[in-house]
Amino acid sequence: MTASIIGWAHTPFGKFDAETVESLVVKVANEALSDAGVAAADVDEIVLGHFGSGFSPQEFTAALVLQADPNLRFKPATRVENACATGSAAVHQGIRAIASGAAKIVLVVGVEQMTRTPGPEIGRNLLRASYLPEDGDTPGGFAGVFGKIAQGYFQKYGDQSDALAMIAAKNHKNGVANPYAQMRKDLGFEFCRSESEKNPYVAGPLKRTDCSLVSDGAAALVLTDAETATKMGKAVNFRSVAHAQDFLPMSKRDILQFEGCSVAWARALQRAGIKLSDLSFVETHDCFTVAELIEYEAMGLTPRGQGARAIKEGWTQKDGKLPVNPSGGLKAKGHPIGATGVSMHVMTAMQLTGQAPEGMQLANAKLGGIFNMGGAAVANYVSILEPAK
């Protein structure tokens, strides 16, 4: 690959009444440039990942990144969007700009502010990431879509409530050590497994602890070509990337397969010349716990229908054979739509440079995998990262 990450920034994720999309973008853009030791004047291109879709009254947002520094004025700036994979779409767009020779330094920013939106509107906004002719009237919004997926999975493979609760408990436990996480509380298996006033059923077999959080936040990366990266203070290289887009209607595919996820992983691993077992850890898209469960199978960690083995036998714990979501994932860290994919790359870069927060850092992390998903396995992005030699 031709691109490397040389700097990054990340706000905490949460509910921030005093912040705006603009203030979040400005903050991480400046901090990422400073972290990379790159002057704004030396940036060749800007890519902003921002879902918007009703969450922001300001829909034309690419130029907001210029507010970070007057020297960004007149730089090419583009907003990209691909539902919940918007952040990775922005990262991959930046990589292409470098690979084509059009840019040497690219500033990538991901942002979303969701918490100012009233609850019913949040559901409607997120449901726009599904196929409205089929799913537009789904009770519970996007949670309802994944509730139907979970129900179908349970009908085919048996009740997986224990596995889903174990995934939720794992990710919440991991999130305690992540200072950027929205929820830093070890909820425990029993709380996640049991229906209660604080943990009611939301959609189908999914309870509140099975669903990612509504969040505000931003993250940013500075990308450059591999040669320039060798002269910088730190660098994390892209070993490979892959993007597989699937049909939007779930009726046109077997939704329990997450086939686009499988294709993206297979392409990325093949291009990297490695096997899944070579990875030190994975940050995967646990928008709902059932998504992480099916992703275990789609990435090839277990055969179809046996994803529960990975969590029940401890494979995906921080001390397991393939730690999954050591950051706490979307479940604990939060899921500000446009920022999520960029955040995953920041968390992975931190791990690979030994700069992850204490308690979150894995020992001897050599290769990190990222899976970021838009819609119900529609937009599927995989990145494989390694520290620069």
Q: Residue 333 pLDDT > 90, yes or no?
A: yes
Amino acid at 206: L
Specify if 221 maps to a domain: yes
Specify if 67 maps to a domain: yes
Q: Are 295 and 258 spatial neighbours (Cβ–Cβ below 8 Å)?
A: yes
Q: Residue 364 pLDDT > 90, yes or no?
A: yes
Q: What is the pLDDT of residues 228-262, one digit of tens each?
A: 999 999 999 999 999 999 999 999 999 999 999 99
Section 356-369 average pLDDT: 96
Q: What is the pLDDT of residues 129-141, one digit of tens each?
A: 999 999 999 988 8
Specify if 83 maps to a domain: yes
Q: What is the pLDDT of residue 141?
A: 87
> At a CB cut-off of 8 Å and minimum separation 6, what does 79 contact?
47, 48, 49, 50, 60, 61, 62
Q: Are 144 and 138 spatial neighbours (Cβ–Cβ below 8 Å)?
A: yes
Reported confidence tier of residue 383, pLDDT bands at 50, 70, 90: very high
Please name the residue that has the structure tokens 């290769």: 367
Q: 175 in helix, strand or coil? A: helix
Do the strands 3-10 and 236-245 form a parallel or antiparallel pair, or are they unpaired?
A: antiparallel
Q: Are 366 and 236 spatial neighbours (Cβ–Cβ below 8 Å)?
A: no
Mean pLDDT of the chain: 97
Please name the residue that has the structure tokens 């500033």: 107
Q: What is the pLDDT of residues 171-183, one digit of tens each?
A: 999 999 999 999 9
Q: Are 319 and 313 spatial neighbours (Cβ–Cβ below 8 Å)?
A: no
Reported confidence tier of residue 80, pLDDT bands at 50, 70, 90: very high
Specify if 303 maps to a domain: no
| CA distances, 192 to each of 79, 135, 332 (Å) | 37, 27, 13
Say how many C-beta atoms besides its own lie within 10 A of residue 364's C-beta.
Answer: 6
DSSP assignment string, 325-381 = -TT-HHHHH---HHHHHHHHHHHHHHHHTT-SPTTTPPTT---EEEEEEETTTTEEE
Q: What is the pLDDT of residue 360?
A: 97
What is the tally of structural domains in the chain? 1
Q: What would the two tokens of residue 329 be?
A: 């994932």
Specify if 246 maps to a domain: no
Closest alpha carbon to 327 in 289, 370, 288: 370
Q: What is the CATH classification number for the domain harbouring 31?
A: 3.40.47.10
Specify if 357 maps to a domain: no
Q: What is the pLDDT of residues 183-224, one digit of tens each?
A: 999 999 999 999 999 999 999 999 999 999 999 999 999 999
**Cα–chain-centroid distance for residue 3?**
19
| DSSP run (H or E) holding 293 | helix 289-298
Reported confidence tier of residue 119, pLDDT bands at 50, 70, 90: confident
Q: What is the pLDDT of residues 271-328, one digit of tens each?
A: 999 999 999 999 999 999 999 999 999 999 999 999 999 999 999 999 999 999 999 9
Burial call 64-98: b when 16+ CB within 10 Å, e when fewer: bbbebbeebeebebebbbbbbbbbbbbbbbbbbbb
Q: How far apart are CA 364 and CA 351, in angstroms?
A: 9
Specify if 142 maps to a domain: no
Reported confidence tier of residue 1, pLDDT bands at 50, 70, 90: confident
Q: 199 in helix, strand or coil? A: coil
Query: What is the sign of the dihedral through the CA atoms of 276, 148, 137 and 125?
Result: negative
Q: Are 255 and 262 spatial neighbours (Cβ–Cβ below 8 Å)?
A: no
Query: Containing domain of residue 104, as a range?
Result: 3-117+214-229
Reported confidence tier of residue 389, pLDDT bands at 50, 70, 90: confident
Specify if 91 maps to a domain: yes
Reported confidence tier of residue 2, pLDDT bands at 50, 70, 90: confident
Q: What is the pLDDT of residues 88-115, one digit of tens each?
A: 999 999 999 999 999 999 999 999 999 9
